[in-house]
Structure 1
Amino acid sequence: MNDEAITALWHGVRLTPTQRRIAHYLSVNAATAGYLSAAELADRAGVSQPSVTRFATALGHDGYLGLRRQLRDIAAAENLGQGQHDQREGANRAQAALRAEAAGLIRLADSLADLTAVDRAARLLAASRPLVVLGLRAAAPLAAHFSYFARKILPDVRTITDGGSSLGDQLEQAHAAGASAMLAIVLPRYPRESVEAVAAATAIGLGVVGLTDSPVSPVDGRCAVSLVAPVGADLVFDLHAGPLSLATVLLQAICDADPGQTQDRLEAFDASAARRQLFTL
C-alpha cells in the first residue's frame, strides 16, 4: 500500500490525540480498513464510534461512509497491497508478514532519496557530549543496539531504557554534563513516559531527534528532527526491521559527519579489542 496516498488524507489537518490513533491504525492497515464499519474501526483503533465520525468530518467528509469509499478507492488503485497478493498466492501468515516487511523496507529506501533530515539529525547527535539515547518498553532493545555501536564512534553515550521518577533526573544530569541532544526512539504503543520525556528534554534545551513509526506518532512534530520508519503489524507482536534499518542508517550518517574522528575511534577500539582478546575472529 502506498503510504503517501494514505497519509495525504490528513496532511495539513490538525488532529487530536484520539484522531491520531485512528490515523495510525489506517496507516498500517490501509488495505483492509476500507471494509470495516465505523464501529469495527473504532473497536480496532481503541476509540469511540463518534470519534471515527468526527475524524471523517475533520478530513472533509460528510460522514464515515465517504471516508470508507476513499479508502477503498486507494486500496483498489494499489491492487490491495502486497500482503493480499501473498495470500492469493497461498503464502502462510509468516511469509505474508515478512514479505510485507520487505515491501516496507523498499518504501523506506525510496523515502531516503533525500537524506537532508538524516544528515541534520546526525550532525545534531554527533555534536552532543554526552549523547542521550532514550528507548522505553518495546523501543528499549533498539536503544541498546544503537547505543552499543554509537559508543564505538562517540566518547560518551548515555542510554535510558527505564522510566520512573529517575528519568527526569537522568535527563537533567546529562544536560548538566554538557549534553545538547537526545535521540528518542518511540514506537507503538507510544509509552506516555516517552512522550513526556521528549517534552522534558526540549524544555531543558536538548535538541531531540525522534525516531518513530508514523507521521501521526505523538512525538512527530515535537522534535527538532523526526525520522520515520514503519513497523510491521501483521503478527501478534510488531516487526521492527524498519526502525532498526533507519537507526543503522543514522549511525552511518554520524560516522560521515566526522570521518576523521570515526576512524581514530574505530582503530582505537580494534586495538583494545585485540589486546583484551574480545573476539574469536
Structure 2
Amino acid sequence: MNNGAAVVPVERVLDLFHGVRLTPTQRRIAHCLVQHATAAAYLSAAEVAELAQVSQPSVTRFAMALGFDGYPALRRRLRELNNTSTAEHAENELQRAVQAERENLARLTEQLTDREPITAAGALLAASRPLPVVGLRAAAPLAAYFAYFAAKVHPDVRVLDDGGSLLTDRLEQAGAAGASALLAFLLPRYPRETLDALGEARAAGLRIVAITDSPVSPATEYADIVLPAAVGAHLVFDLHTAPMALAMVVLQAICDAMPAETQRRLEAFESSAARRQLFLG
C-alpha cells in the first residue's frame, strides 16, 4: 500500500541480482532487501544481518558477490534507486500501480528471450500424467485459471488448492497414479503449507516447476525450474498480472511439447461445445 512516501520499485532491486548465482544464505539476504527495499537503503550491514538472520560478514560477501566494493556501496545504490523513485512519483497511486504492472510485463518479456527454461518446463509438465497444480491462498485462483485451460489439452489435471493433511493425501495420490512432475504457484506471503508440500513432493521424486514472484523466493529451495514473474505491490492487495501471463506462457509450452495430442483434444472439445451449444459466439 502506498502511503505517500518514496518507495524503491521492487523490480529495480531485483535487477541488482539478475544473472548472479547466489548461495542459499545470499538468497536470504536478497529476499530481505526485496521485502524491505526502501528501509534497507538506510540500514547498516549489522541491521541487515539481523533482519535476514545471517552474520554481518555474510552481508559484506553478498554485496561483493553483486559487484560492489562492500555493503556501503550497495547501500548507496539503493539510495540512488530511492531518489530516482521519488522523482518519478508525479502520477497518482493508482496510475503508478498500473504502470508498475507494465514494467513487470516488460521484465517478463525480456526474460522470455531465453526460451530454454520455458521449453524445459513445458516438456516436464506435458509428460506428467496426472499433472498436479499446487496453489494455496492467494495463488489458488491462478492455479484454477491455469488448470481450467490446461484441462482442454491435458488428460488429467488436478488442482491442489487445499492445505493441511488433505494436500499431502492428494500429492501422494497423484504420485501413485503416475505423476512425474508438478506445477506450483508460490506467491507472497509464501504459505508454509505450500513449501512443506514442495518438500514432500521433491522427497517423493517429483520434478517441480515453480511460478513465483522472484528468483530469490523460497521456491528456489525446492524447484527444478524456477520461473519468476514480479507481483505488483503498490495497492492494498497484490496484483498478479505478470504471474498470470507467465502461467499462460507455460501452458503454451505444454501445447508445443505435445502438438498432435493438443490438436486432437482441442478439436474434440470444439465438437462437443458445438453439439451442446455451450457458447453464444
Using the alignment, how far apart are the partners of 2:247 and 2:261 within structure 1?
A: 20
Contact 2:14-2:34 within 8 A present in 1 as well: no
Answer yes or no: is 1:36 the counterpart of 2:42.
yes
Q: Secondary structure at the match of 1:209?
A: strand
Q: 1:68 to 1:280 in 2, by over 3 A?
A: farther
Q: 1:143 to 1:186 in 2, by over 3 A?
A: same
Q: 1:9 to 1:274 in 2, by over 3 A?
A: closer
Per the normalisation by structure 2, the TM-score is 0.84
Corresponding residue of 1:105: 105
Deviations 1:15-64 (A, max 9, x none): 17xx72x522523664x34543359x87xx9x748758565345257xxx
Number of residue-to-residue matches in the alignment:
267
Using the alignment, how far apart are the partners of 2:251 and 2:32 within structure 1?
A: 29
Q: 1:35 to 1:86 in 2, by over 3 A?
A: same
Contact 2:210-2:219 within 8 A present in 1 as well: yes
Answer yes or no: is 1:70 the counterpart of 2:70.
no
Q: 1:228 to 1:13 in 2, by over 3 A?
A: same
Deviations 1:177-232 (A, max 9, x none): 11111101111111111001111111112111111111211121421211111111
Contact 2:32-2:52 within 8 A present in 1 as well: no
Offset at residue 101 of structure 1 (A): 1.5
Runs of at least 5 residues in structure 1 that lack an aligned partner in the other structure: none
Contact 1:38-1:49 within 8 A present in 2 as well: no
Residue 22 of structure 2 is aligned with which of 12, 20, 23? 12
Residue 59 of structure 1 is aligned with which of 58, 62, 72? 62
Corresponding residue of 2:30: 23
Using the alignment, how far apart are the partners of 2:55 and 2:39 within structure 1?
A: 12
Corresponding residue of 1:166: 166
Using the alignment, how far apart are the partners of 1:60 and 1:85 within structure 2?
A: 26
Q: 1:100 to 1:28 in 2, by over 3 A?
A: farther
Corresponding residue of 1:250: 250
Contact 1:212-1:220 within 8 A present in 2 as well: no
Give the percent of matched residue pairs that are identical in Structure 1 and Structure 2.
49
Runs of at least 5 residues in structure 2 that lack an aligned partner in the other structure: 1-10, 65-69
Corresponding residue of 1:145: 145
Contact 1:13-1:59 within 8 A present in 2 as well: no
Offset at residue 273 of structure 1 (A): 1.1
Contact 2:31-2:216 within 8 A present in 1 as well: yes
Using the alignment, how far apart are the partners of 2:152 and 2:19 within structure 1?
A: 42
Using the alignment, how far apart are the partners of 2:43 and 2:77 within structure 1?
A: 16
Offset at residue 8 of structure 1 (A): 5.3
1:180-259 → structure 2 map (5 Å cutoff):
180-259=180-259
Using the alignment, how far apart are the partners of 1:255 and 1:9 within structure 2?
A: 29
Contact 1:7-1:27 within 8 A present in 2 as well: no
Using the alignment, how far apart are the partners of 1:162 and 1:188 within structure 2?
A: 17
Using the alignment, how far apart are the partners of 1:13 and 1:188 within structure 2?
A: 21
Deviations 1:104-153 (A, max 9, x none): 11011101111101110100000111100000011000000000000010
Contact 1:184-1:208 within 8 A present in 2 as well: yes
Offset at residue 277 of structure 1 (A): 1.6
Q: Secondary structure at the match of 2:25?
A: coil
Q: Which has the higher contact order (CA 8 A, sep 6+)?
A: 2
